[in-house]
A and B are shown apart, each in its own frame.
Chain A
Amino acid sequence: MLTVRELRAGYGNVDVLHGISFDVRPAECVALVGANGAGKSTALRCVCGLVRARAGSIEFEGARIDHVPGHRIVRRGITMCPEGRQVFADMSVLENLRMGGHMRRDRDQRRDLEALFDMFPALRPRARQRAGTLSGGEQEMLAIARALMSRPKLCIFDEPSLGLAPKIVDEVERTLARIKANGTTVLLVEQNASMALRLADRAYVLEAGNIVLEGSGQELQTHPEVSKAYLGY
């Protein structure tokens, strides 16, 4: 579904990615794990068209997307749920969700809104409330729901557990599992490697802009180096 080959990218004079390759197959959950500064977020931003690739290729459903502007990429079915939630704080919960479906012209949006409120029952009573007044966990749920409003084929999550209480992280994990169970393909970037590896069918370990390991989620969970470096045991 998504094929990334020899991707190089960076900012200014600094190269962040030194030619990484990875695949995401339909209905799969793939995780990119790695420490701070390994290049996970840059890889995601390249896929979303927010950062231009310097070399290499990105293909989505058989077509090159590495020179397609960001808003067109969403139209092809890739949506990102950004790091740190980034809800529109001064807009209501409902308006945030409507922004998520902004580029849709179909009439099913109302039904999707209902379905999302069923999926995130905490948001329903707060539909008219300013998003900035929600708790961190609720904002994360809103950001996830907003991303789903565009009906993505591939949904990308950038550090969904960042800055959340452990109990809320569990809730995020359950939510992502449900999204995957619904048939949406998921690309997950996480520093919380244990959660990412539990969710992922396959995972790649990034270190300083290179992919150093890949394998199934389970394999990596038990891999001695991974467990020592990222899981803490």
Chain B
Amino acid sequence: MSRALRVGIGAAVALAALALPHALTVPYFLHLTILACIWTVLAQGQNLVQGFSGYVSIAAGGFMAIGAYASALLSVKGGWPVWTSMALAPFVAAALALVVGYPSLRVKGHYFAIVTLAYNLVIVTVLNNYESFTGGEAGMPNIQRPAALVLGGLQLSFAGREGYYYLVLLAAAAATAGGALVLHSRVGRVLIAIRQNEMVVDALGVAAWRYKLFAFVASGFLAGLAGALYAHFIGFLNPEPFGTDQSMNAILAVTLGGSGTLLGPIVGAFLVVTLPEYLRVADTYRLVVYGLLLVLATIFMPRGIVPMVSRGFRGMATRLAAALRPRPDPTP
């Protein structure tokens, strides 16, 4: 694709994203779009570990819970301004990721996945049972939206869905930009090398564990941000949405969309949020159909939707270019 075309498409998508709240007449669709943006943040984080370095972590839901509860507790029980608590929450999740990532990144492959799965279970168990602090399963109500901002005489309110949509859109864009920054840096190159052959990376004099730890902590940070955005959007927290199901959703979003690509997690996040909703037509068979679709997608698009579509486009562009090329005149 030419550069001009890319910029054009990017600008069109950005405009469409900005205009979306005015186009969507059903509030429920906007609600889903907000969730999808939050899940994009989560998926971009998951992509750093799973997509780039090839380590599958099953702890995204747990770190999301840490961010959600950190922000909710700081603002509701601590009385801090919501903006401050939301800004701090990702750092709390990242700090925990640092502490648990340091020992667990020594194990590889499936073992790493199982260790992280255990963290997720521990986090949910603690949240369920530390009732005096978290409210246990009964949950924490009355989590406020962030206060309105006044920027140059313009009042930005986040109390409504429209305002909050722009906040999560910004977060999703920032998470994607962060992923792009990492991908095109020296760090990204090492992470991708780790995915292909970690032993050689070590043999080349690169301390692979530092880069893995960076990816893991960064993914914890983004999961924490996603959690904070979720908590203040829904307004009520209990541990239920942060179980391993949620971590699986993050993995699915990355795998379905396109592991290791930048657009993949976005596409994947929208799919895992909206697909189960659209499948409500299938009624009680909803989850069965969902599962079937996932199996089919994995069989027919093992590398994800984005790589497949972009390859399709490239093929079309080549054929188009060949068709448009002036042919040599056959007549002498």
Contact of B205 with A82 in the complex, beta carbons under 8 Å: no
Chain A positions within 8 Å of B206 at CB level: 71, 99, 102-103
Contact of A146 with B196 in the complex, beta carbons under 8 Å: no
A45 → B minimal CB distance (Å): 9
Taking residues whose C-beta sits less than 8 angstroms from the other chain, chain A's interface range is: 20 to 34
Chain B positions within 8 Å of A99 at CB level: 189-190, 193, 201, 204, 206
The answer to whether residues A100 and B202 also contact, given A88-B197, A91-B193 and a CB cut-off of 8 A, is no
Report Cα–Cα, A72/B186, bound state, in Å. 19
Contact of A98 with B189 in the complex, beta carbons under 8 Å: yes
Q: Which of B192, B200, B207 contacts A86 (CB 8 A)?
A: B200
Contact of A88 with B202 in the complex, beta carbons under 8 Å: no
0/1 per residue, A170-186, Cβ < 8 Å to B?
00000000000000000
The answer to whether residues A89 and B196 also contact, given A69-B207, A71-B207, A99-B189 and a CB cut-off of 8 A, is yes
Contact of A79 with B190 in the complex, beta carbons under 8 Å: no
Contact of B203 with A80 in the complex, beta carbons under 8 Å: yes
A92 → B minimal CB distance (Å): 11
0/1 per residue, A39-61, Cβ < 8 Å to B?
00000000010100000000000
A-B interface contact total, Cβ < 8 Å: 63
Closest B residue to A71 by beta carbon equals: B207
Chain B positions within 8 Å of A100 at CB level: 204
Chain B positions within 8 Å of A90 at CB level: 192, 196
A79 → B minimal CB distance (Å): 7
Interface status of A217 (Cβ within 8 A of chain B): no
Q: Which of B186, B196, B202, B205 contacts A75 (CB 8 A)?
A: B205
Interface status of B199 (Cβ within 8 A of chain A): yes
Contact of A79 with B189 in the complex, beta carbons under 8 Å: no
B238 → A minimal CB distance (Å): 42
Give the residues from 175 to 203 in chain B that come closer than 8 angstroms, CB to CB, to chain A.
186, 189-190, 192-193, 196-197, 199-203
B213 → A minimal CB distance (Å): 14
Report Cα–Cα, A69/B199, bound state, in Å. 13
Closest B residue to A77 by beta carbon equals: B205
Closest B residue to A104 by beta carbon equals: B205
**Residue among B189, B196, B204 having the largest count of chain A Cβ atoms under 10 Å:** B204
Contact of A70 with B190 in the complex, beta carbons under 8 Å: no
Report Cα–Cα, A103/B200, bound state, in Å. 13
B285 → A minimal CB distance (Å): 39
Chain B positions within 8 Å of A95 at CB level: 189
Chain B positions within 8 Å of A146 at CB level: 204
Closest A residue to B207 by beta carbon equals: A71
Chain A positions within 8 Å of B196 at CB level: 88-91
B190 → A minimal CB distance (Å): 7
Contact of A71 with B202 in the complex, beta carbons under 8 Å: yes
Report Cα–Cα, A70/B201, bound state, in Å. 10
Q: Which of B186, B189, B202 contacts A70 (CB 8 A)?
A: B202
Closest A residue to B210 by beta carbon equals: A71
Contact of B204 with A48 in the complex, beta carbons under 8 Å: no
Contact of A48 with B193 in the complex, beta carbons under 8 Å: no
Contact of A88 with B193 in the complex, beta carbons under 8 Å: yes
Closest B residue to A90 by beta carbon equals: B196
Report Cα–Cα, A40/B58, bound state, in Å. 39
The answer to whether residues A71 and B205 also contact, given A91-B193, A99-B190 and a CB cut-off of 8 A, is yes
B150 → A minimal CB distance (Å): 47
B94 → A minimal CB distance (Å): 24
Interface status of A2 (Cβ within 8 A of chain B): no
Q: Which of B186, B192, B199 contacts A102 (CB 8 A)?
A: B186
Contact of B199 with A50 in the complex, beta carbons under 8 Å: yes
Q: Which of A80, A89, A102 contacts B190 (CB 8 A)?
A: A102
Report Cα–Cα, A99/B188, bound state, in Å. 11
Contact of A82 with B200 in the complex, beta carbons under 8 Å: yes
Chain A positions within 8 Å of B202 at CB level: 50, 70-71
Interface status of A203 (Cβ within 8 A of chain B): no
Q: Which of B189, B190, B203, B208 contacts A82 (CB 8 A)?
A: B203
A223 → B minimal CB distance (Å): 32
Contact of A88 with B200 in the complex, beta carbons under 8 Å: yes
Chain B positions within 8 Å of A79 at CB level: 203-205
Report Cα–Cα, A24/B308, bound state, in Å. 52
0/1 per residue, B193-230, Cβ < 8 Å to A?
10011011111111110000000000000000000000
Interface status of A150 (Cβ within 8 A of chain B): yes
Interface status of A141 (Cβ within 8 A of chain B): no
A75 → B minimal CB distance (Å): 6
Chain A positions within 8 Å of B205 at CB level: 70-75, 79, 102-103, 150
Chain B positions within 8 Å of A91 at CB level: 189, 192-193, 196
Report Cα–Cα, A144/B204, bound state, in Å. 12
- List 15 contacting pairs A-B, 8 Å CB cutoff, sorted by A: A50-B203, A70-B203, A71-B202, A71-B207, A75-B205, A79-B203, A82-B203, A86-B199, A88-B193, A88-B196, A99-B206, A102-B186, A102-B204, A103-B205, A103-B206
Known: A50-B203, A88-B200. 4 other contacts (CB 8 A): A82-B200, A99-B201, A100-B204, A103-B204
Top 7 closest A-B pairs, CB basis?
A74-B205, A71-B207, A103-B205, A88-B196, A70-B202, A80-B203, A86-B200
